[in-house]
Amino acid sequence: MSDTLCPVFCTAKLPIELIDEFFKEANKATQDNCYEAPVGYLVASTTLPEVIEESATICPIDEQALQDNPFLNKTTTEVIDWAQSNLHPECGLLNDQVVILDDRTAQDKTCLLLSLKEHYIIEFANRKTVPGPEEAPDAWIVIRSDFQSSIVTIMTKATGVGGDDHFEPLGREGHDGVLRIRETHAKDG
């Protein structure tokens, strides 16, 4: 199991079945790609458990968990600002890479990935917080991803196995702008 989990925020009112589907697909992909256990964590409260690494989100998700979701209708910058102020790898949750389930998630079963670019990780290393994507858009990768690719892509970068290049398939001509792990593996071999 990873010592650090990937935070997943839900900023839209989504059916619990869709959130379950997200975690089923994302958890399967992470377990198919070298993780023994799920590494995603649904952040549905501003109060976090004492032992995060033992709190990965698995299905079925209790509907009550999202009843008082403090991130409903929050912007990406508000989510990142909160993550920067309240999360850190030492507590078991990444704060420079997150997954957001938003209004578009219900339409096309994609999610938003926010990842601090590699060279900014070094530049901002001595700061307690990093400017959000609206304040420092060049510092962030902000892309759509299918459910399968979301957490495994974030964790590949977070663990140092991969880098910003995992987001490159989106730059190809004619690409729809949604990261899909199947396309990345097909390209590699």
- Supply the pTM of this predicted model: 0.88
Give the residue extent of every domain in the chain.
6-188
Residue type for position 83: A
Average pLDDT over residues 51-60: 78
Give residue 123's pLDDT.
64
Identify the CA nearest to 43 among candidates 23, 25, 29.
Answer: 23
Residue type for position 20: D
Give residue 169's pLDDT.
56
Residue found under tokens 């078991």: 92
Average pLDDT over residues 121-126: 64
Give residue 1's pLDDT.
45
Q: What percent of the chain has pLDDT over 90?
A: 39
Q: Kindly state the tokens that stand for 76.
A: 């990406």
Give residue 157's pLDDT.
86
> Best-predicted range by mean pLDDT among 51-60, 152-161, 176-185?
152-161
Average pLDDT over residues 125-145: 78
Identify the CA nearest to 10 among candidates 88, 86, 68, 95.
Answer: 68
Identify the CA nearest to 84 among candidates 123, 128, 39.
Answer: 128
pLDDT in tens, 75-116: 999 999 999 888 877 778 998 899 999 999 999 999 999 998
pLDDT averaged over every residue in the chain: 84
What is the distance between the alpha carbons of residues 180 and 172, in angstroms, rounded to a whole number? Answer: 13
Residue 42 confidence class, pLDDT cut points 50, 70, 90 = very high
Average pLDDT over residues 141-170: 84
